[in-house]
Amino acid sequence: MGSAHSLPAEMRALAEKTGFTSDQIEHLHRRFKQLSRDQLTIRKENFDSIPDLEFNPIRSKIVHAFFDKRNLRQESDGLADEIDFEDFLTIMSYFRPIETSMDEEQLERFRRDKLKFLFHMYDSDRDGKITLHEYRNVVEELLSGNPHLEKEAARSIADGAMMEAASICVGQMGPDQVYEGITFEDFLKMWQGIDIETKMHVRFLNMEPIGHCY
């Protein structure tokens, strides 16, 4: 609690920027320090210390997302080596629940931001398109928790999903048309039916800090 009161101005700035309440920021800050071992920045290795994350099949994608500069709202591209607390908050803010006070436009932007985050997780080569290859990668990773499953199955699933994507986004393709990959616009289209804004959130409010996570 002590650190919160020592930097009220900085805190307020952060709260404004990310939309978190000061309580939440405090919680997250404590967690941040826990992860970074009291350093100012977090590096990739720090994520290794989270035991539960180890079993996550898409662990690398999640960790990647933290260092992806596109998610950090920076103009530049590529991967950051380390992130500071503000970046950490920025990433976390993608997972804020909607607020009732939001108007239509804000909601829409909110939704877009969330989807953009997900899109970046799929689009690992940053070309703005989820190609079949990338899609396969994702599905393979998703199913990697299951040793009995051959890669082939994952592939055919990815292929099927890609076909679906093509049929949703392009509809009837012309004979000369090539579906190169899912662009962000297509991605938006495909998520139309899913209420991402009510689903993509983590409860930051009543977080109970965990004493020992190492």
Partner 1 sequence: MVRSDPTQNRSNGPRLPAAALLALALAAAAAAGAAEARATAESRPPDATAMGASGGTAPSPSGSALEETRLHVFTLDYPHVQIPFEITLWILLASLAKIGFHLYHKLPSIVPESCLLILVGLLLGGIIFGAQEKSPPVMNSDVFFLYLLPPIVLDAGYFMPTRLFFENFGTIFWYAVVGTLWNAIGIGISLFGICQISAFGLTDITLLQNLLFGSLISAVDPVAVLAVFENIHVNEQLYILVFGESLLNDAITVVLYNLFKSFCQMRTIKVVDIFAGIANFFIVGIGGVLIGILLGFVAAFTTRFTHKIRVIEPLFVFLYSYLSYITAEMFHLSGIMAITACAMTMNKYVEENVSQKSYTTIKYFMKMLSSVSETLIFIFMGVSTVGKNHEWNWAFVSFTLLFCLIWRALGVFVLTQIINVFRTIPLTFKDQFIIAYGGLRGAICFSLVFLLPPAVFPRKKLFITAVIVVIFFTVFIQGITIRPLVEFLDVKRSNKKQPAVSEEIYNRFFDHVKTGIEDVCGHWGHNFWRDKFKKFDNKYLRRLLIRENQPKSSIVSLYKKLEIKHAIEMAESGMISKVPSSVSLSEYHEGKIKPLSPTEMENMREILTKNLYQIRHRTMSYNRHSLAADANEKQAKEILIRRRHSLRESLRKTNSLSRERPAAANTKRFLSLPKNTKLPEKLRVRNKTSSKVGDSSDSEMDAATTVLNLRPRAGKILRDQRQKQQRPLPEFRMEWKNEVDGKQDGAGAHQETSGQPQPSVGFRQPLLTRSRFGTLTGEDLSADHRSTGPMPPPRLVRQASQGERQRNKPENQPY
Out of 112, 161, 188, 189, the residue judged to bind partner 1 by CB under 8 A: 161
Any contact of residue 15 with partner 1 (CB under 8 A)? no
6, 38, 45, 55: which one binds partner 1 (CB under 8 A): 55
Shorter beta-carbon distance to partner 1: residue 21 or 156: 156
- Which residues ranging from 189 to 208 are in contact with partner 1 (CB under 8 A)? 190-195, 198-205, 207-208
Q: Which of 44, 59, 69, 112 binds partner 1 (CB under 8 A)?
A: 59
- Residue 72 sits in the site that holds partner 1 (CB under 8 A): no
In the complex, least distance from residue 127 CB atom to partner 1, rounded to whole angstroms: 13
Which residue matches tokens 């986004």?
169
124 contacts 70 by C-beta, under 8 angstroms: no
Give, as ranges, the residues between 19 and 48 that touch partner 1 (CB under 8 A).
27-28, 31, 34-35, 47
For partner 1, the binding residues in 105-144 under the rule CB under 8 A are 118, 121, 131-132, 138-139, 142-143
Nearer to partner 1, 11 or 29 (CB): 29
Shortest spacing between CB 128 and partner 1, in angstroms: 16
* Cα–Cα separations (whole angstroms), residue 148 to 22, 77, 153: 46, 37, 10
Residues 165 to 194 in contact with partner 1, rule: CB under 8 A:
165-167, 170-180, 190-194
Q: Which residues pair with 82 in a beta bridge?
A: 43
Q: CA–CA separation, 124 vs 138, rounded Å?
A: 10
